[in-house]
Structure 1
């Protein structure tokens, strides 16, 4: 999928507090998107993975995703109520969208 379309979808999902679904490194993920921006020169998403598999331990947890590796991204109908962030996110090069 086009990266600009992914960016539009991610920003919309953050604004509307909607979960997103996508494939990443061969696994389907269902994620609450929280922070979208640029870190170390790469566009990334920080999200809380709700469902799906991962290469790491456990299925639900905070994860950072390089957006260039996210494929078949779509905004889901399911909402989340509020941010899970306990503090300001780590300093990134630039923030594009942060859930409020």
Structure 2
């Protein structure tokens, strides 16, 4: 992976996304998703909430990295909190 300027936070972020997609695939095979309505203004199933959460993760991380010089792990932590909230109550 020397062709790309990987840092620990970006590598961890990428690995977490890959792991989440793998977990969602297994969950969908074992237990089909159910559509429900949470705080998001549309009825969503597990995959929809995950996609919306991923868009939020991207926005939070890019904003964090662009606005502050603080540790990228803080932005990653905020992103993971958003993921948990969107998946649980979204």
Which structure dedicates a bigger proportion of its chain to strand? Answer: 1
Greater RCO structure (CA 8 Å; 6+ sep): 1
**Considering only CA atoms, is the larger Rg found in Structure 1 or Structure 2?**
2
- Which structure shows the bigger proportion of residues in helix conformation? 2
Does TM, normalized by the shorter one, top 0.5? no
